[in-house]
Structure 1
């Protein structure tokens, strides 16, 4: 891969996750403090991500894998998303905010699969090359958090009381416009499926990627992906409000420690893959969720702040060792004609079905442990996802057979 293409893909990843990190981390705090949303309403807002992820495989299978260049679709989706972000910035009530975020996530979630597809098509060895490109997405997310906390101070006590978190949506809107137009300069990524060939409805909608589930190992991985996203939803929905409520200063800025960790472990991922294998990598990622939530349950803003910081820092292992590994694993399993649809399908499993269930559970749990004075029993709230993560670890450990990822030239993966 030449330097020009590498630079473009890196900038694409930077903006893709800068946009997401600009508003998603603080949305729960914004909704509760500025729009007076309940835990269930906040869960519903976060769940829009899941609906977008569920729809994403069909959008990708219908368009990117068959008819139009992936980079052009990416540009159009982000330009549309910019307008919706601006609507969210202007929203004064949850009833106005919710439809805008719902439509936005339907447009945004397919872009996660598209940036992966555009990147993978430029690589000879994704297992080795992808991490150095994807790390720029992590840097983008970190940059967004640092800007919010340390440049503009939108999440300070004064900033939140004045409603300045609203500006995060405006920042995301501007970044979406930039990425929208920049996408048209990315390497051409045409569909690989044969245009003249008569195809079935399932092929048109990208459902051919479902054939991956016939592989027993992939089926176990797919189910595990759904289940581990239930505890993940607790983190996305509750981490920032939790830190703000218990009195941790600059909570959004401190949460970027997790992304710094993500960047580090993303670069270490190929080494870990080679030395310990895919199964061990995923198990370490899932076990890190258990430890993280235990630390959150017993930490505090005073003498226990170190526990919270370590819990945040574990994000690198939690995310990279499971989710990025899963993207690489999925790419290794899919043939050329369904690569985009396969990435969309794993997006459906993780950010779609699993987190849709997770946000619903997290919203209800948060309301159950709400005290009369508006505070929460965070110890009980965090122990619930820790328990769920333990069960997922046992499920994967027992049922998944150790496997060496196959190269694209190999016919079948090697099972040990």
Structure 2
């Protein structure tokens, strides 16, 4: 792979995740302070990510993979996204904001698959080369968070009531415009020609062929656990930034990038842990980390116990890598050659789609249930808010421990 292509792919990944990190982390705080959104309205906005994840296979499987170059679709989606993001920047009411964010997420979620498609088609040895490309996406997310807190100080200004977090959408719009234009100079990635005259079925296009894997009891238990563990995960996405902001932690968005730094570290450690302890123990550690993280949030504060909050953020690497990446390896090992892509699509649909969709709604219900505390005792409100996902995560941990039968996963973990 030439240096030029490696740079283009790396810059593509950087912008792709810079855009997401530029506005999504602070979205909850923005909705509360700028648009005075209710807990259910906040849940509806965050649910657009799940709706986008559910619709994404239709866009990729039925359009991009069959008729158009991936890099051109990527460019068009980001150019439209730049316009939608600018409209979100200008919105002053939740009823105006919602249609734009829904449209945006329906268009953005497919780009996560498209950047992977563009990358993999250019790599001669994906197992060894992709990680060095993909890591620039994580760096992009980190740079976005650090910029918000330490360069522009938008979250600090937000605490003073200046409404500066609105600028995150403008920043994301500019970055989306840049990636949209840059996509047209990416390496050409035409559709893969189907050699067989047989047209792919609708089920195969959206990944439902892999539903046959659910006949395996162990995989069924893993599938259900994947949905259930994404319920507490949704609490983090929806509530973490507003929580840190409201209890007075300085530069909350910048400090949340510790989670992405941790993700990189534990991704490097995962193959060692996976090889030594196996799949079941690895994924159980990931589940338990969710429960511990939320307890740290429930009983920590921005004063003497602020270390508990930082530790909770730092656990993101274990929470994400030990469950999601291990799950991807396990899914790949259970699927035959014919169903590998469909199986990964099925798990993505279960987690980012169904699981988090339920989770955002549950988080909204919990927020409404305890909202009376927000006006009198903010600390008590957040304590109750975090205890519930901690309990859910621990229950999933126990159920998986009891019902999942340990088995050897044949995949080589260095191919993560």
TM-score of the superposition, structure 2-length normalised?
0.89
In 2: Cα distance, 1:390 partner to 1:241 partner: 24
More moved, 167-176 vs 389-398: 389-398
Q: How does 1:394-413 map to 2 (within 5 A)?
A: 394-397=398-401, 398-406=403-411
In 2: Cα distance, 1:131 partner to 1:300 partner: 36
2:180 matched to which residue of 1? 180
In 1: Cα distance, 2:343 partner to 2:64 partner: 12
Cα distance, 1:115–1:372 mapped onto 2, change above 3 Å: closer
Cα drift, residue 367 of structure 1: 1.7
1:240-299 CA deviation, whole Å, 9 max, x = no partner?
111111111111111111111112222333333333333333222221111101100110
More moved, 191-200 vs 298-307: 191-200
Instruction: State the aligned residue count.
Output: 408
In 2: Cα distance, 1:119 partner to 1:218 partner: 29
1:225 matched to which residue of 2? 226
User: Could you tell me whether the CA contact under 8 Å between 2:47 and 2:356 is conserved in 1?
Assistant: yes
Q: How does 1:311-350 map to 2 (within 5 A)?
A: 311-331=312-332, 341-350=342-351
In 2: Cα distance, 1:123 partner to 1:221 partner: 31
Cα drift, residue 102 of structure 1: 0.7
Aligned to 1:155, the other structure's residue is in SS state helix
1:330-366 CA deviation, whole Å, 9 max, x = no partner?
4555567766554443322111101110000101101
User: Could you tell me whether the CA contact under 8 Å between 2:204 and 2:342 is conserved in 1?
Assistant: no
More moved, 151-160 vs 339-348: 339-348
Aligned to 1:366, the other structure's residue is in SS state helix
Q: How does 1:107-126 map to 2 (within 5 A)?
A: 107-122=107-122
Alignment of 1:168 with 2:185, yes or no, is no
User: Could you tell me whether the CA contact under 8 Å between 1:135 and 1:266 is conserved in 2?
Assistant: no
Aligned to 2:375, the other structure's residue is in SS state coil
Cα drift, residue 223 of structure 1: 2.0
1:309 matched to which residue of 2? 310
2:94 matched to which residue of 1? 94
Cα distance, 1:204–1:348 mapped onto 2, change above 3 Å: closer
1:198 matched to which residue of 2? 199
Alignment of 1:355 with 2:356, yes or no, is yes
In 1: Cα distance, 2:287 partner to 2:315 partner: 11
Aligned to 1:263, the other structure's residue is in SS state helix
More moved, 301-310 vs 279-288: 279-288
1:379 matched to which residue of 2? 383
Task: Give structure 2 stretches of 5+ with no counterpart.
Answer: none
Q: How does 1:33-112 map to 2 (within 5 A)?
A: 33-112=33-112
Aligned to 1:116, the other structure's residue is in SS state helix
1:246 matched to which residue of 2? 247
Cα distance, 1:247–1:58 mapped onto 2, change above 3 Å: same
1:411 matched to which residue of 2? none
User: Could you tell me whether the CA contact under 8 Å between 1:69 and 1:188 is conserved in 2?
Assistant: yes
1:414 matched to which residue of 2? none
Aligned to 2:353, the other structure's residue is in SS state helix
In 1: Cα distance, 2:280 partner to 2:71 partner: 33
Task: Give structure 1 stretches of 5+ with no counterpart.
Answer: 408-416
2:209 matched to which residue of 1? 208
Cα distance, 1:135–1:57 mapped onto 2, change above 3 Å: same
User: Could you tell me whether the CA contact under 8 Å between 1:228 and 1:354 is conserved in 2?
Assistant: yes
TM-score of the superposition, structure 1-length normalised?
0.89
More moved, 171-180 vs 276-285: 276-285
